[in-house]
Structure 1
């Protein structure tokens, strides 16, 4: 990675504070030195849980320098979710922001593998935790000279453990290696997908692979990245105006927000030349209307998975080859095929099947989960994405449906199995099934079919409030609750969820929902 001594790396859109590339490099090296001097080096698992902040990437870069493994965690995880992911990864150090320190202090008491908690985004230490500044100051001598860090086997050395549900089941740890990450940098350099020295704004959170790696791309393209600690429409638009933003990293619901925004005309957005849209499909009609309304030169749709490290399919939409509805072509160092799920044969252009990808960006596997890893690949090494689609004669790829059980709320993965597992812990629920119902603004809303215990007085509000207390916001039952006498099962005991969707589409069942429309997207 190449750092520029005076150029800005990040700008906080809320406060206007900045950090330069040289500051990031120096502080990351100091932190690397402090970690090594504290006995933490190669392969130690380090978690970070925080809202977006100027200090977020110091533990990230420092961990990469010393061969440690960084685990970004959603700061909004509930106690139930934290228990699950911490037991998978078993981090020794946790970097977190002060507002969620109480969560990790409790976990440190319960889990003996957590050795140290370090606070970021504050200079103040706390009982049981010290600030990043104090940790660095207490473990280095203040010298500008740094140790030469040990080299690693980049092909096998894990750089990141990222949370993903894969194609089914509870969240798992995706092993992203240094080689995966290096391939992303080389790929984008060689293909010249991104222009150099442009100002970007990145809305997705840093714990999400999209936000994490899009910001790291700023190092490669040597331009500043504006970020938001939380999404606020007027702050977002003012940041674009004030910092003359050229590129936006967004998800479809935020493009829809811009299309509907009543005060869009109050801001000068003329600096924007392109929008990158990923994490969920963008409808062709939406792409056309937003491109026209914002007077954008281009909307670049992208397709990727946590398991592919970053973007695997990209649509440059340079004006000459713009194909609305397509997420583009497979990128360098990657291969794509479409497979017939019944026969296992690879299909010709314009034939629909499961999208399969292969190449140097594909994860090493799922952490400590060889069975899930085996199920994710074909015998000859193709990764099964769980998405349905096709490619045309020119190689442009179109995603048409999702085979995997996951649903997407505002670009966030929601695993029905996780929701079902939580619902079944309720004393008055004997069976359940969760599906996603389509929503123009959010993508999909989780909806639960529930079988009550005989004689139980259980209402939709009870079920929704129960889930709200156990799981973070994207997993709330915004789609509502449907009560059934029994959940249909196949001959082998599985729930045919297409049959449940048909019940909704044909108005055979009624949805009980306490959420009002204005509350759905909070």
Structure 2
């Protein structure tokens, strides 16, 4: 319904929000599930864990962490590709009131150094392939006390195995039945990395209240169906992958996951496990529409495709519905700063509005704001999307300035996205105030790439933009001004980025050398002019 003035309120909640910790919600939910039912399935190997295994191992680890001296406010980083063991430390941290900080397992040492100096984790849980990388960081940072390896029973270098840590700190019996009390509205459950236009990632604080609200949203049958088998491809360190998997397996049913995309494994997993729901990003939807061997697999179990992280073209939406014989393909809209999706297209598909991200979910308010005047706008008037509600972050960890800049004076989160809503309150995202590049659902900050490129001895100036790509959404592309008489070539520039930043930030769009970078009088890069220049190439 329309609010008091041009504020759009979400669906009326079916239930009030629970006034308990998110850890207690997880515990009670897992405890009430069928003990031997698989909850998490590795689509590559076929290995799986049950509800009871997840609960018992998480509780034992929580007890071990308490015994070792960790507790409320302890920051615990987690870094691994998607795995069966990923959620043991994450849930254990929530149980004891600690703060879980999922980290991109592809981060380079430069990126790790930045985020670790923000989070200051006392303990890091990681996969065995990352131990040496984190040991290097531990040797340089006094606040890192322990490295625990989650995917092997043997210690690796100086990293202690999860099994050994638990055995050395508990007597083998599960004791956890109560939770460290936390202020659910103020206490962070997760610190999530989110790129901004100013460069390296910031740490988004998501509270127990934020996660409780997401849990209640998933429980709402108007939003998502229950008793389904889902397949999740987004990485667990990303809010889309984390929410889809953690909340999905608590509410909807078993989750099949992949730790990397490979077409045959992807399609085989859908067929073998009779997957009903796919959590995808646009490039993977495009893949399904163009895959030449799709007919070799039985995909008839699929009833729902949910697509997030970037807009989906109308033509792609039509194609995938035809290919998979679907009534609806659901687009969702959300941010790390809103805990997950806060807007969904209709579940039943009765009202299909091409290009729309849907309507506002429960516990949330939206408004469209003129970014120049601050005035809230009415239907079909384009402006910045602003959000309020119980899924909006507390702020950026240890960054008061960034937090203040993210909100209006009266507490609305400024998303940086431009859009509008129609007379029926369906929203359309059309542009971005932010300059982020969206590569396969990942946010890439041009400023971070530019800062790195300027450290190259042969580069005088640079400007980075995202260029369109059907499969990836956008590809980072660099305009470079090199030193006079320099023999620097485009391939060397690309290799320089590849050696220093994680894969989603690589200059896959290309590099071109120019005489100068267009800028305002104050020195700000005119990316609009760079985009025009790119179109002329």
Q: 2:372 aligns with which of 305, 328, 342?
A: 342
Q: 2:355 aligns with which of 325, 329, 332?
A: 325
Post-superposition shift, 1:221? 2.1
CA distance in 1 between counterparts of 2:221 and 2:233 reads 24
User: Partner residue of 1:135?
Assistant: 165
CA distance in 2 between counterparts of 1:166 and 1:346 reads 24
User: Partner residue of 2:65?
Assistant: 35
User: Partner residue of 1:46?
Assistant: 76
**What are the equivalent positions in structure 2 for 1:369-518 lying under 5 Å apart?**
369-507=399-537
Post-superposition shift, 1:167? 4.7
How big is each residue's C-alpha offset from its partner over 1:79-124, in whole Å with a ceiling of 9 and x where there is no partner? Answer: 1111111111111111111111110111111111110000011111
CA distance in 1 between counterparts of 2:534 and 2:252 reads 50
* Deviation larger for 181-190 or 419-428: 181-190
CA distance in 2 between counterparts of 1:486 and 1:166 reads 25
Does the aligned pair in 2 maintain the 1:237–1:267 contact within 8 Å? yes
User: Higher relative contact order at CA 8 Å, sep ≥6: structure 1 or structure 2?
Assistant: 2
User: Partner residue of 2:229?
Assistant: 199
Post-superposition shift, 1:76? 1.1
CA distance in 2 between counterparts of 1:422 and 1:186 reads 42
TM-score (norm 2): 0.93
* Deviation larger for 375-384 or 319-328: 319-328
Does residue 103 (structure 1) correspond to residue 133 (structure 2)? The answer is yes
CA distance in 2 between counterparts of 1:144 and 1:41 reads 17
User: Partner residue of 2:6?
Assistant: none
User: Partner residue of 2:13?
Assistant: none
CA distance in 1 between counterparts of 2:353 and 2:50 reads 38
Does the aligned pair in 1 maintain the 2:218–2:248 contact within 8 Å? no
Moved over 4 A (4+): none
Post-superposition shift, 1:308? 0.4
Post-superposition shift, 1:407? 0.8
User: Partner residue of 1:510?
Assistant: none
CA distance in 1 between counterparts of 2:182 and 2:497 reads 43
Does the aligned pair in 1 maintain the 2:494–2:507 contact within 8 Å? yes
State the secondary structure of the residue aligned to 1:171.
strand
**What are the equivalent positions in structure 2 for 1:12-411 lying under 5 Å apart?**
12-146=42-176, 148-190=178-220, 192-411=222-441
CA distance in 1 between counterparts of 2:261 and 2:349 reads 30
How big is each residue's C-alpha offset from its partner over 1:11-59, in whole Å with a ceiling of 9 and x where there is no partner? Answer: 1101111111111111100000000000010110100110111010011
User: Partner residue of 1:518?
Assistant: none
Does the aligned pair in 1 maintain the 2:111–2:200 contact within 8 Å? no
CA distance in 1 between counterparts of 2:252 and 2:489 reads 54
CA distance in 1 between counterparts of 2:338 and 2:88 reads 24
Post-superposition shift, 1:147? 5.6
Point out where structure 2 has 5 or more consecutive residues left out of the alignment.
1-24
TM-score (norm 1): 0.95
Does the aligned pair in 2 maintain the 1:167–1:385 contact within 8 Å? no
Does the aligned pair in 1 maintain the 2:225–2:252 contact within 8 Å? no
State the secondary structure of the residue aligned to 1:379.
coil
How big is each residue's C-alpha offset from its partner over 1:163-212, in whole Å with a ceiling of 9 and x where there is no partner? Answer: 10235432100001111000111123235422221100000110111001
Does the aligned pair in 2 maintain the 1:276–1:300 contact within 8 Å? yes
Say how many residue pairs are matched.
507
State the secondary structure of the residue aligned to 1:99.
helix
